[in-house]
Structure 1
């Protein structure tokens, strides 16, 4: 594999970054599920954590170039 080909498992692929964001958001939402937070708040937490994870990973990937 030469330098121009990247692994399909790298975070340069948008789908991988989205998957990472969904997993991170779901993990935090599951942790919040044990609390007495309403479902709406848990969904907001899932979206915020997922969005922040995607944005951070995308930002870090672009800064490496």
Structure 2
């Protein structure tokens, strides 16, 4: 019998994407109080989201 992973775990791609979006949005909101241009804030949002997704995916794959 194989074990099924919880649908709330980071094994699901959608959950990793959601975590990356939330992390990116949080950092972008923190940057929103600064005088950074909107384009720079968008780059920060995408960068933090991408790094978060890559890191969580890498950590998940090494645990298998």
- Answering whether residue 51 of structure 2 is matched by residue 52 of structure 1, we say yes
TM-score (norm 2): 0.97
Structure 2 gaps, min length 5: none
How many pairs are equivalent? 64
1:3-41 CA deviation, whole Å, 9 max, x = no partner? Answer: 520100000000000000000000000000000000000
TM-score (norm 1): 0.95
Structure 1 gaps, min length 5: none
Q: Considering only aligned residues, what root-mean-square deviation do their CA atoms show, in Å? A: 1.1
Runs of 4+ deviating beyond 3 Å: none
